Amino acid sequence: MTSEIGFVFAVLGITIALFVSDKLRMDLVALMVVAVLAVSGIVTPAEAVSGFGNPTVVMIAALFVVGEGLFRTGVAAAAGNWLLKVGGSSEVRLLCFLLPVVALLSAFMSSTGAVALLIPVVLSMARRSGMQPSKLMMPLAFAALIGGMLTLIGTPPNIVVSGALKEAGLEPFGFFEFTPIGAAVLLAGALYLITLGRRLLPQRDVEQQPDSCDVPGMMASYGVSGQLHKLVVQPLSQLADKTVVEAALRSEHRVTLVGIRRSGSLLSSILPVLANTRLAVRDELWVYGQESDIERLCLSHRLTHYGSPAKEISRMGREFGVAEVMLPPGTPLQGRSIKEGAFRERYGLSVIGLRRRCDPLETDYRETRMEGGDTLLLAGSWERIRALEGRRDLVLLQTPAELGEIPVHGSRAPVALLVLAAMLVCMTAGWLPALTTVLLAALAMILTGCVSLPEALRSLNATSLILIAGMLPLALAMEKSGALAFVVEHLVNWLGGASPLLLSTGLFLLTSVLSQFISNTATTVLIAPIALTAAQLLGVNPEPLMMTVAIAASTAFATPIASPVNTLVLSPGNYRFSDFARVGIPLQLLALGITLVMTPLLFPF
């Protein structure tokens, strides 16, 4: 062993130890690796930072932008809603639908791309179902890696081993020859992730800002939980053909009108409920108020009370929300009543709660006088809530977490779907290089207004990109120093006279272990010729050995740096290094057993 090989092994060992200890951020450790390798001379300074311009890193960054376009236009939320509809709120049912979907997508496009596109969908699903993202993100990544085992183009290692067979004058693997083993691993892996693996996953919430809150939490803090009601205007009702001002719901009945749905359309999604908005028969009125006040209003004005239907309230949440504002000292509103404040006319929003010195205050629309420092809970359309930003007459204290899930560019959803479809078709058909295709898709998302440039820049996950870019030079150092060849050579010397099945086991373990720390493509490029040579020395069919290497290269389950796919879910799932080993190693052993059983049956030695 040369000194360079020893040095690289030492760097690798220290890096893994720092990752496992979780005392330093992983992206910081990756930057330290770049600096150490640049100083060592094993790789040049240019090679040490080459990861930041690596096509894989650039493609992942572009896919972040594409995914953000799907999120900002509401496509991701719609997909999450569909999965929630068929999967319900059951974690097991959701996984039963999610895992095959991502695996099938990864069979025909980059697994990295599939995960980058689905992360917003899964986060939306987790939020809407009340699940922890840590229970869904790692299964998402593992299913994508397994999906690469299904077809020839599913992952680069499949193409590498097929090309090696062709160069040796043998018949290359067909497009679907990987499918039987890949499908078996997918089935077994899905069962594992849904049963035992699900219990091994950490129960860890995503870190949130201390002041983050959702709509129910904000309403509870003002004492107005459960006060949203649905009323319908009946024929002969006194409210028919009256304006909101003429109806005087707030001043005379202590009931606040926040939305009207007419003929299936929510008016507030087009314009706010203003003072001159005229009511009509069969209008659905969404109001805030006490149950007793609501009942008296219904009896006196011929309205039908439908209570607080949960499904419709959930649907209303896509159109309506709340925001907390504070009246600054010296405000012109000081000393005025809520009615005199004319919030609906000024802001298109209604006051549904007031707190003074942190305590909820029971308010009278006409009598309660506002003071500087009072905080108000305003309700109305999300569009009007966004318009509060930057106003000087009110201090916007807090908006709910749900605001981030509301499509900002919802009208561009068809365009975003068209861009996504074009990208998938180009990548599957191979009309353009994958990197070119993804860059064009990201650019199209920005130019067509699916995502703004500032939103695109904010979507770039710096932690994931730095970690991937920082670890790529370590893989290069292992190749240049001879460290990787050193490991492979000793394995062949040890198993050279063994049976084909034992040799397959050794090749699987070596390929799988190396794939946890360096590119699975680089690992396959180095080990495929070794497997081919070993088969020739033993006088056996090389196909089962080559298939074993290809499958093993896709079992990068045990570390977050094993694959860009794992790195992508590291931050959204709030995982630690050890989480991947705990869940991933049993899945690797499962894949090993299936491969050793099925490969000799499909490709006899």
Q: Give the separation between CA 182 and CA 594, rounded to whole angstroms.
A: 9
Q: How far is CA 289 from CA 97, 202, 254, 367, 513, in A?
A: 40, 41, 7, 17, 62
Average pLDDT over residues 106-117: 71
Higher-confidence residue of 125 and 255: namely 255
Query: Comparing C-alpha atoms, which of 330, 144, 364, 344 is closest to residue 259?
Result: 344
* Strongest mean pLDDT among 303-317, 452-466, 541-555: 541-555
For 468-515, the pLDDT digits (tens) are: 677 778 777 877 888 767 766 776 677 655 678 888 898 899 889 878
Torsion of CA 21, 27, 28, 29, to 10 degrees: 50
For residue 548, is pLDDT > 90?
Answer: yes
DSSP string, 555-600: ---S-TTS-HHHHHHHTTTT--HHHHHHHHHHHHHHHHHHHHHHHH
Higher-confidence residue of 391 and 200: namely 200
User: Would you state the pLDDT for residue 77?
Assistant: 66
The residue count of the chain comes to 605
For 580-597, the pLDDT digits (tens) are: 989 999 999 999 999 999
User: Would you state the pLDDT for residue 310?
Assistant: 65
User: Would you state the pLDDT for residue 259?
Assistant: 77
Q: Give the separation between CA 553 and CA 201, rounded to whole angstroms.
A: 23
User: Would you state the pLDDT for residue 271?
Assistant: 43
Q: Where are the domains of the chain?
A: 5-206+459-602, 215-399
Percent of the chain, pLDDT > 90?
A: 13
User: Would you state the pLDDT for residue 592?
Assistant: 94
Tokens standing for residue 175: 């497009």
> HSE of 533 in the Cβ direction (CA atoms, 13 Å)?
11
Higher-confidence residue of 42 and 168: namely 42
Average pLDDT over residues 228-246: 86
For 284-340, the pLDDT digits (tens) are: 888 888 888 888 889 888 898 887 766 666 666 667 788 888 888 778 888 888 888
Query: Comparing C-alpha atoms, which of 142, 2, 15, 3 is closest to residue 473?
Result: 15
Q: Give the separation between CA 271 and CA 280, rounded to whole angstroms.
A: 16
Q: Give the separation between CA 108 and CA 303, rounded to whole angstroms.
A: 55
For residue 268, is pLDDT > 60?
Answer: no
Tokens standing for residue 61: 């960054």
Q: Report the predicted TM-score, pTM, of the whole model to 2 decimal places.
A: 0.59
Percent of the chain, pLDDT > 70?
A: 86
DSSP structure class, residue 49: T
User: Would you state the pLDDT for residue 210?
Assistant: 40
User: Would you state the pLDDT for residue 79?
Assistant: 67
Q: Where are the alpha helices (DSSP H) in 302-378?
A: 310-316, 338-341, 343-347
Encoded amino acid at 19, one letter: F
What fold, for 215-399?
A: Alpha-Beta Plaits (3.30.70)
Q: Are residues 161 and 550 in contact, defined by beta-carbon separation less than 8 angstroms?
A: yes
For 164-192, the pLDDT digits (tens) are: 788 778 888 887 889 999 999 999 999 99
Average pLDDT over residues 53-68: 78
Higher-confidence residue of 81 and 321: namely 321
For 259, the 3-state DSSP assignment is strand
